[in-house]
Amino acid sequence: MYSAVIVLAAGRGERLGGKTPKAFVDLGGKVLLVRALDCLLGFPGFKWVQPVISREDLDRYAALELPGDPRLAKPVIGGAERQDSVAAGLAALPAEIDLVAIHDAARCRVEVADVARVVAAAERHGAALLAAPVPDTVKHVKDAVVISTPDRRACWGAQTPQVFHRALYAEALEKARADGFQGTDDAQLVERMGAPVHVVPGDPGNFKITGPEDLARAEHLLAREGTAP
């Protein structure tokens, strides 16, 4: 199949705080978005790499030192919600793309081997995502009271990339739009159509930089790698 990846970087990073939008925050001398692009361009299966940024960040993007790879497309402008940004990215892909991966720039250190595994799974099954086992016992809570405790072994933390046959994802996105449904990830749009989404065990190191503690953790990991023998 002919694959592309949409790289989502149009959020504001409110939980991270600070003045700089999250995707443009520096981590060890490189901004998160550039790190994510480097990782994704490392996978030769992607024929098109589509960044999605906010209009307010056009100048910031133009000032980046970007990888000189012809597969890196011009950025498109995202929307108010993550799902709107995905839609903008999807609309920008060439017609011949029939497999689409969606990735958060905030997961800036995804391994190429994991990307390859989730792409292969989606090619075969139609839909797949990377996910990591959840270390804590998960509680389903309503009004500060526990409703139930799902079996921890059956709980996985969804990561990205999430990868889909383009036609399946486009249909799921259209249905979500028609129903006024906003998902926090892409797989759930496909799940609600009743289509199976395959889980590919990923690396806990592919965590999303959400709050300051995540950035500190990423800095720590990077520093440790830098001093490794």
- Applying CB under 6 A, which residues contact ligand CTP? 8-15, 22-23, 52, 78-82, 85, 104-106, 208, 210
DSSP label at residue 63: T
Nearer to ligand CTP, 3 or 83 (CB): 83
Residues 7-66 that bind Mg ion (CB under 5 A): 11
Between 196 and 211, CB nearer to ligand CTP? 211
Residues 156-215 that bind Mg ion (CB under 5 A): none
What's the distance, CA 40 to chain centroid? 11
Q: Which partner from the list Mg ion, ligand CTP, none does 147 bind, CB cut-off 5 to 8 Å by kind?
A: none
**Cα 118 to Cα 101: distance, rounded to the nearest angstrom:** 9
Query: Which lies closer to Mg ion via its Cβ, residue 11 or residue 202?
Result: 11
In the bound state, the residue with its beta carbon closest to Mg ion is: 11
What's the burial of 137, exposed, middle or buried (CB within 10 Å: 0-12/13-18/19+)? exposed
What is the closest distance, in whole angstroms, from the C-beta atom of residue 85 to ligand CTP in the complex? 3
Toward ligand CTP, which CB reaches closer, 55 or 224? Answer: 55
Closer residue to Mg ion (CB): 94 or 211: 211
Q: Give the number of other CB atoms < 10 A from CB of residue 131.
A: 22
Structure tokens at 189: 């749009």
CB of 61 to ligand CTP, least distance (A): 12
* Cα–Cα dist 228/224, whole Å: 6
Size of the chain in residues: 229
Task: Please report the beta strands in the chain, taking only residues with DSSP state E, as ranges in sequence order.
Answer: 3-9, 26-27, 30-31, 46-53, 76-77, 99-104, 127-133, 140-142, 145-148, 156-165, 198-201
Q: How far is the CB of 134 from ligand CTP (least distance, A)?
A: 18
Task: Give me the residues that bind Mg ion (CB under 5 A), please.
Answer: 11
